Amino acid sequence: MADRPKAVKLAKKHREVGVAEFFARNKHLLGFDNLRKSLLTTIKEAVDNSLDACEEADILPEISVEIIEMSANRFRVIVEDNGPGIVKKNLGKIFAKLLYGSKFHSRKQGRGQQGIGISAAVMYAQLSTGRPAKIMSRISAGRPAHYMELTLDTAKNEPKVIVDEEKPWDKEHGTRIELDIKASYQKGMQSVDEYIKETAVTNPHATIIYVNPKAEQYVFARVSEELPRKAKEIQPHPYGVEVGELIKMMGDTNEKTLTSCLQKDFSRVSANVAKEILQNARLSPSMNPHEMTREHAESLITGIQETKIMAPPTDCLSPIGEELLEKGVKKEVRAEFYSATSRPAIVVNGNPLQVEVALAFGGEQEKDKPARLMRFANRVPLLYQQGGCGITKAVTTTNWKPYGVQQSGQNMPHGALTIVVHIASVWVPFTSESKEAIANHDDIIKEVKLGLQDAGRDLNKYIKKKYKAHHALERANLFERYIPEVAHSLAKLTGENEQQLVTDLNNMTHKEQLVGNIEALKAENVEYDEEFASIGKEEKEDVDGETEPEGST
Amino acid sequence: MADRPKAVKLAKKHREVGVAEFFARNKHLLGFDNLRKSLLTTIKEAVDNSLDACEEADILPEISVEIIEMSANRFRVIVEDNGPGIVKKNLGKIFAKLLYGSKFHSRKQGRGQQGIGISAAVMYAQLSTGRPAKIMSRISAGRPAHYMELTLDTAKNEPKVIVDEEKPWDKEHGTRIELDIKASYQKGMQSVDEYIKETAVTNPHATIIYVNPKAEQYVFARVSEELPRKAKEIQPHPYGVEVGELIKMMGDTNEKTLTSCLQKDFSRVSANVAKEILQNARLSPSMNPHEMTREHAESLITGIQETKIMAPPTDCLSPIGEELLEKGVKKEVRAEFYSATSRPAIVVNGNPLQVEVALAFGGEQEKDKPARLMRFANRVPLLYQQGGCGITKAVTTTNWKPYGVQQSGQNMPHGALTIVVHIASVWVPFTSESKEAIANHDDIIKEVKLGLQDAGRDLNKYIKKKYKAHHALERANLFERYIPEVAHSLAKLTGENEQQLVTDLNNMTHKEQLVGNIEALKAENVEYDEEFASIGKEEKEDVDGETEPEGST
């Protein structure tokens, strides 16, 4: 036995790890790090799903969110929507199987991406309280509503159906989920209240009825009857494909020739472009893609790089738009100047991505604090992990001084400023499965910085104008002081009426107009909503859980 | 067709997402965010595996790491160890199947945890260059070496064997992996050089031979012939188990009664403790665990909470130890004061966890910079994501002023200080699969702070003594200035010889001793290694990829 290799004994320990087992132990990766965040994550996953489902079915969303405190650290969360409902066959997997969904394999903008979120919430409920998820769903008036109680079998990553029955429901179509979870509720910048509020801002087409555990009801009625532009699915763009992926795509394609594969499976490849790519790659257009070797794939990549290909279409994106973005900010922040910009889409790893930025400056915002940063990805507010987010990095590595904003080193700019950044993309690279922060991707950081600079230039123009107007007023005030003396001397010299001269000289200062100029510079705050702005605010913040950095990344 | 529910159409899009497909698209979650980090991650995964394998087989590790620059942004990485080797049957899965390994289901300290790392590196190689991994492994002199070329089938998450043959190898046992990857090489704080160096510090029992792409060879010879204390496997501790997990454990157990299940499947539950738990839970000791309902489980949790149970054993941990930790720091940092502390183990989510802290103060360290923080988890250096790490949070939320160290707000302390923190645990909660930062877990942050305070108190004593000694010297200097005058007056008064009086008075200052006191306070730097300390250093840092924050979290 002595010379039996140790490897033989060690080999017996090697086993497969189930994906649900993995995430059950690493539930912090899914946003369930602490009790406060667990409440937010649970609601976020349910609401994001509801919004996605409604939009996919062209339904103006009406979503109700209710949180009931059952006992200490025990909450019941109920989220109900008027979406298209879910067919019975898929109900179990959608709610109780990780990595199952409709978004991963379709390249188009959505809140969900990977089919993890809501099943993770169901898993968290069962781990923390042992209780199954209660699901109700109905797909049309002509069909019954299905009621299910479900848990997730973590060993197999499969749903376990405990109750399955038809139930009467007054809703014609929609879905309702009820979860009992261990959690804690607290207002503040990282609260469910704040999440719901910011969601209302970036989803003006949705009505959200929200009852928090203090039984306070808020109704965020939709302000737009128009659904956002529907995002279209696109194929991968050739520029974003790496050797390994290319080999896989060629192996999987249904096309019989390289030229048709390039045109069918990729975005922006016309017959002419395909011809040019293949010429540059020195490959035959009639070659069977299934016969592609690694050497061929490397040539093809070179061919692609040497060919000028149009940027991917951007109708797969659904940005918020400058106008709505500015409107949303005005509702929340009472500033004196607003500016919003939607950048043209860029391509990141072959996927279109669009950056939108809004700035709100001055007014009643606090001056002696770091600027407030509001981050959004595909219309979803990001409330955690500000310090690790690529957006934050873009903000702190932008030089704000040329725009008239204070900043020390590469820290968050300082002063009465709110910065809003929205990233819309077919595939947002988040730093973790819990989708709280954008990865530090050079191209994204660069693009956000360009957006900040666009908006910053407008801000700088405003600050300069404001400075000029104030300066003009100061000069007028100075001149005014000498008017009596000047009038007196002039009267003596010319014999004119001294009082008349004073009046004339006073008119010459145009002081009223100068004051008017300053007032005119300030943005109107007609859209500011006192009640709205106060939602979720609390004096003492972030006692529980993660406190967010205000400074540098 | 018009009244066909939309859900029916939408249902067709729902599909399962393969775990490898998921990670292939989200490869940044695995540490492959940018070219520089991809090189580090690849080497880290291979070296960590080698160290784990050697230690499990009681072999003093000898590992060689070679990086060859093949062309622009294309590197060949070769890591070879003298470990136990891997049996042929498991080779494919270990290197080309995500979530496959020996660590997940065994609760003991290890560098690897989840069976993702090395397969992720193989997947990254094939995605970025299309090239398979080349593996050689041999388990004993009496058996042949196996050579395999492998890729990972991302759709199935299974290995695809391209070449499989026996080959001659001069090694009796060991494993060798060769990967071609897209990457970039650069020195600095986040470089492979730095990783290897820090690994040598925390693994004094390992010999590492490293050749970087500039063909510079470094040999880190082992300085200890003793393997670290072997970590033992333990059962989960009752305090760390939640309702859902408890139900699962009861369903999976082989035991026939509750009392035996509690004693066999959990840590620190004796017959008496089991009896007390079940009394508190009002459950029968003879109950069949398989019949446990959710209500029973909730009672059992209550019973556990009401019973005093001994903390879990700590022989599942393998800390570095105060002495070796301090020794390692001395090699790297030329300071005037060193202090190291190993805290007693605590329990986090039922898993033992131990914090070790070392401080190096003053000496030749730069004064006008934030303190340098070196983070380690289970002896592995953490070079990225400092800003998002719980260790950083513990450092910045510690008040350093009482220890004589400058700090503004909750930023990194400032001055000539190096802070080293090591966390050893059966299960380290990382913020992502790439294991670069520790999650912001309250108990861990608290424990790290206690460690910092322990070491801080020693530091404070030193700084106080130093201040006292300097103060005494200053007083002596002051007295010295008056000696001629005092001697002159005394000579006149007493008639003694003035010169003799000067000499006597000078002796009374004990100045030499005071100077000696100050010198004696300073730690000896006999272990400092100039060449070692310079490895990886470069003037211009972090041009590519993530730049680490120096300030607040």
CATH number at residue A285: 1.10.8.50
pLDDT at B61: 97
Residues A212 and A104 in one domain: yes
Point out which residues pair with B208 in neighbouring strands.
B63, B220
* A342-351, B15-24, B81-90, B324-333 — most confident range: B81-90
Top-confidence residue, A330 or A39: A39
How far does CA A529 lie from the centroid of its chain? 22
Structural domain that includes position A517: 462-534
Q: Which residues of A touch B126 (CB under 8 A)?
A: 244
Q: Write down the pLDDT at residue B550.
A: 35
The pLDDT of residue A546 is above 70: no
Question: CA B149 to CA B164: how far, in whole Å?
Answer: 7
Nearest CB to A387; choose among B115, B244, B553: B553
Cα of first residue to Cα of last residue in chain B, in angstroms, is 57
Whether the CB of B140 is below 8 Å from some CB of chain A: the reply is yes
Share of chain B above pLDDT 70, in %: 97
Q: Please check whether residues A298 and A326 belong to one and the same domain.
A: no
Residues A171 and A138 sit within 8 Å (Cβ to Cβ): yes
Closest residue in B to A427 (Cα–Cα): B25
Task: Between A355 and B311, name the one with better pLDDT.
Answer: A355
| Nearest chain B alpha carbon to A90 | B11
Cross-chain Cβ contact A243/B127 below 8 Å: yes
Q: Which of B287, B305, B323 is the last residue of a domain?
A: B305
Place of tokens 């089991």: B274
Q: Comparing C-alpha atoms, which of B348, B350, B533, B359 is closest to residue B423? A: B348
A19 touches chain B (CB under 8 A): yes
Nearest CA in chain B to A33: B441
Region B93-103 average pLDDT: 93
Answer yes or no: do B130 and A34 touch at CB < 8 A: no
Boundary-marking domain end, from A435, A459, A483: A459
Task: Tell me: do B295 and B182 sit in the same domain.
Answer: no
> Quick one: tokens of B223?
């300085």
> Of the given ranges (A126-130, A235-239, B27-31, B106-110), which has the lowest mean pLDDT?
B106-110
By C-alpha distance, which of A226, A313, A227 is closest to A269? A313
Across the interface, of B115, B294, B552, the residue whose CB is closest to A131 is B294
Looking at residue A291, its pLDDT comes to: 93
DSSP string for residues in A98-146: SSEESSTTS-S--S--SS-HHHHHHHHHHHHH-PPEEEEEE--TTSPEE
Give a yes or no: residue A314 inside a domain: no
Task: Find the range with the poorest average confidence among B102-106, B285-289, B404-408.
Answer: B102-106
Interval B184-232: pLDDT, tens: 999 999 999 999 999 998 999 999 999 999 999 999 999 889 999 888 8
Region A286-305 average pLDDT? 94
Burial of B541 (0-12, 13-18, 19+ CB in 10 A): middle
CATH number at residue A345: 3.30.230.10
Give the pLDDT band of residue B111 (cuts 50, 70, 90): very high
Q: How confident is the model at residue A540 (pLDDT cuts 50, 70, 90)?
A: low
What total number of domains does chain A contain?
A: 4
Looking at the complex, report in whole angstroms how far the Cα of residue A251 sits from the nearest Cα belonging to chain B: 12
Query: Residue A543: is its pLDDT beyond 50?
Result: no
Domain C-terminal end among A459, A485, A512: A459
> Which residues are A176's β-sheet partners?
A80, A136
Residue with the bigger pLDDT between A139 and B113: it is A139
Residues B416 and B282 in one domain: no
Q: Which of B157, B109, B83, B53 is nearest to A16 (CA)?
A: B157
A270 in the same domain as A301: yes
The residue-averaged pLDDT of B68-77 equals 96
Q: If you measure CA to CA, which chain A residue comes closest to B390?
A: A546
Q: What is the reported pLDDT for A539?
A: 54
What is the rounded CA–CA span in Å between residue A242 and residue B130? 8
Q: Are residues B167 and B252 in the same domain?
A: no
Question: Residue B53: pLDDT band by 50, 70, 90 thresholds?
Answer: very high
Q: Which residues pair with B361 in a beta bridge?
A: B337, B417
**Burial of residue B58, with CB atoms counted within 10 A of its CB: 0-12 exposed, 13-18 middle, 19 or more buried:** exposed
- Looking at the complex, report in whole angstroms how far the Cα of residue B219 sits from the nearest Cα belonging to chain A: 27
Place of tokens 């409107």: A327
Average pLDDT over residues B342-356: 90
Q: Give yes or no for B551 touching A (CB within 8 A).
A: yes
Cβ burial, residue B60 (10 Å; 0-12/13-18/19+): middle
pLDDT of amino acid B548:
44
Within a domain: B386: yes
Mean of per-residue pLDDT scores for chain A: 90
Q: CATH code at A128?
A: 3.30.565.10
Cβ contacts of A173 on chain B, cutoff 8 Å = 5, 7
- Measured between beta carbons, the chain B residues lying within 8 angstroms of A243 are 127-130
- State how far the Cα of B245 lies from the Cα of A126, in Å rounded to an integer: 9
Q: For residues B301-321, b (16+ Cβ closer than 10 Å) or e, as one string?
A: bebbeebebeebebebbbbbb
pLDDT band at B546 (very low <50, low <70, confident <90, very high): very low
Question: What pLDDT, in 10s, does the model give residues A390-405?
Answer: 999 999 999 999 998 9
Q: B143-155: b or e for each residue (b if 16 or more CB lie within 10 Å)?
A: bebbbbbbbbbbe
Q: What is the pLDDT of residue B452?
A: 97
Q: pLDDT value at position B19?
A: 94
pTM of the model: 0.89
Q: Considering the domain boundaries, does residue B227 fall inside one?
A: no
pLDDT bucket at A3, cuts 50 / 70 / 90: low
Angle at B547 between CA B543 and CA B550, to 5 degrees: 130
Residue B539's pLDDT band (boundaries 50, 70, 90)? low
Same-domain pairing of B532 and B425: yes
Would you say residue A215 lies in a domain? yes
Answer whether A88 touches B (CB < 8 Å).
no
Assign B3 a pLDDT band (cuts: 50, 70, 90): low
pLDDT of residue A541: 46
Domain membership flag for residue B477? yes
> Stretch B34-57: mean pLDDT, rounded?
96
Q: Decide if pLDDT at A544 tops 50.
A: no
Q: Which of A85, A104, A128 sits opposite B244 (nearest CB)?
A: A128
DSSP E strand boundaries for A196-322:
207-211, 217-220
Find the range with the poorest average confidence among A153-157, A218-222, A448-452, B233-237: B233-237
Return the pLDDT at B466: 86
CA B272 to chain centre: 37
Residues A424 and A488 in one domain: no
Residue A6 lies in a domain: no
Q: B22 vs A99: CB contact, 8 Å cut-off?
A: yes
CA distance A362 to A466: 11
The answer to whether residues B61 and B198 belong to one domain is yes
Interface of B with A in 300-359 (CB under 8 A): none
pLDDT at residue B203 in the model: 93
Task: Give the residue, A315 or B200, on which the prediction is more confident.
Answer: B200
- Touching check for B14 and chain A: CB below 8 Å? yes
- Distance from the Cα of A540 to chain B's closest Cα (Å) equals 18
Strand A174-182 and strand A133-138: pairing? antiparallel
d(CA A367, CA A414): 8
Indicate which of A6, A227, A433 best probes the interface with B, i.e. most B CBs within 10 Å of its own CB. A6
- Residue A152 CA to residue A446 CA, distance in Å, equals 41
pLDDT of residue A215: 94
- The pLDDT tens digits for A53-92 are 999 999 999 999 999 999 999 999 999 999 999 999 999 9
Same domain, B284 and B393: no
Confirm whether A57 is domain-assigned.
yes
Picking from A326-340, A513-527, B137-151, which range would have the lowest pLDDT averaged per residue?
A: A513-527
Q: Strands B207-211 and B217-220: what pairing? A: antiparallel
pLDDT tens profile A334-386: 899 999 999 998 888 888 999 999 999 999 999 999 999 999 999 999 999 89
Whether B543 shows a pLDDT value over 70: the answer reads no
Helix ranges (H only) for B307-389 are 322-332
Which pLDDT band holds residue A263 (cuts at 50, 70, 90)? very high
Query: Residue A462: pLDDT above 60?
Result: yes
CA gap A310, A273 in Å, rounded: 9
B5 lies within 8 A of chain A by CB: yes
Same domain, B40 and B164: yes
CB contact under 8 A, A25 and B427: yes
Q: Is residue A332 part of a domain?
A: yes
SS3 B547: coil
Predicted pLDDT of residue B540: 52
Ramachandran area for residue B542 (φ above 0: left; ψ -120 to 50: alpha; else beta): left
Q: How confident is the model at residue B293 (pLDDT cuts 50, 70, 90)?
A: very high
Do A38 and A181 belong to one domain?
Answer: yes
